[in-house]
A = this chain, B = another copy of it.
Amino acid sequence: MGNTFGHLFRITTFGESHGGGVGVIIDGCPPRLEISEAEIQLELDRRKPGQSKITTPRKESDICEIISGVFEGKTTGTPIAILVRNTDARSQDYDEMADKFRPSHADATYDAKYGIRNWKGGGRSSARETIGRVAAGAIAKKILKQIAGVEIIGYVKQIKDLESTVDPNTVTLEQVESNIVRCPDAECAEKMIDLIDQIRRDKNSIGGIVECVARNVPKGLGEPVFDKLEADIAKSVMSLPASKGFEIGSGFAGTLLTGSEHNDEYYIDDTGNIRTKTNRSGGIQGGISNGENIVIRVAFKPTATIGKEQKTVTRSGEETTLAAKGRHDPCVLPRAVPMVEAMVALVLCDHLLRHQGQCSLSGFD
């Protein structure tokens, strides 16, 4: 069941790095939404490998096909199946990995769990799996935008120790997409690109932090107690490959403040709306959105697969070394940006429908 996410707006993904393809089924999509393969492709293109000199040189066009659930350009309310065929499979790069486990990768644990493993390109643990998420996220984004004007914008906040300055309240998609590292702080972005390029030449890898903001989120999304909005967002992004940490609003730094420093005092704005003066809560209080911007951060570790030689073991239990062949991202962050956005969109869209289901019946009071 681990390949299904969401309750009312529910996605199920499938596929491995090598084989017939990857994709997603979206069940519960509201009917009569206009959607096209071209719109979905836009997001997939932000995710795909081979975009720039700082991503993996693998060239996969990742062309999507809508198999079902859309009729004459509109959703029908029935399952939307989206398929992306695999191409450019240089599986010989992985021959060595049939037997050797990559350190800090999923090779050994998949083997321990299932007693079998599609070792070509990482199989199901490949980041290629996220194609289905990003495709579904494109639809979730469109619903959120059209129903409530929600904007979801992710960006690279930090690469290794290079920390950028970005205002989540004003950042635009254009700023994010203006450079190949997807950091809207242009000056910092250049340093990040140089650093990643250097690391790539060293056959090494680095990590960093993606920040993501959701603006214009309606008040009232999220549920007590287990499905708090931040809990579901945390799960969603911690399910992305290579993520190691999550925080919302003040996050870990918030532990250094006292309550009187940390609390977001309320005021009434010009329109009579209840607002908070500050936003250390990150847009969510008691697990429910309060109408302020939702701001989260996700830590991604350095890519596990590297060209440098490392100590490891074989399936049969012998110690050995491995210097990974194949074409890998020296840093997953630029391509992780659309993934994080997609996950946030999926959670918000599901909770929008759930809130609609429980709390929008009229007739009471």
B302 touches A257 (CB 8 A): yes
State the Cβ distance, A334 to closest chain B Cβ, in Å: 14
Please, how many angstroms separate the alpha-carbon atoms of A289 and B111 in the complex?
11
A230 touches B220 (CB 8 A): no
Chain B proximity mask over A261-303: 1 for CB below 8 Å, otherwise 0:
1111111100010101100111011111111000000011111
From B14, B146, B259, B285, contact of A302 by CB (8 A): B259
B219 touches A113 (CB 8 A): yes
B4 touches A14 (CB 8 A): no
Please, how many angstroms separate the alpha-carbon atoms of A108 and B224 in the complex?
14
Please, how many angstroms separate the alpha-carbon atoms of A298 and B238 in the complex?
14
A59 within 8 A of B: no
Please, how many angstroms separate the alpha-carbon atoms of A286 and B75 in the complex?
19
Q: How many copies does the complex hold?
A: 4
State the Cβ distance, A184 to closest chain B Cβ, in Å: 19
A66 within 8 A of B: yes
CB-CB under 8 A for A8 and B354, given A224-B2, A259-B302, A268-B318 = yes
* Nearest B residue (CB) for A78: B124
Residues in B whose Cβ lies below 8 Å from that of A31: 113-116, 358-359, 364
Chain B proximity mask over A207-249: 1 for CB below 8 Å, otherwise 0:
1110000000001111111111011101110110101111111
A258 touches B206 (CB 8 A): yes
B32 touches A25 (CB 8 A): no
- 9 residue pairs bridging A and B, Cβ less than 8 Å apart: A2-B224, A14-B69, A28-B357, A31-B115, A76-B123, A112-B220, A245-B254, A353-B357, A357-B358
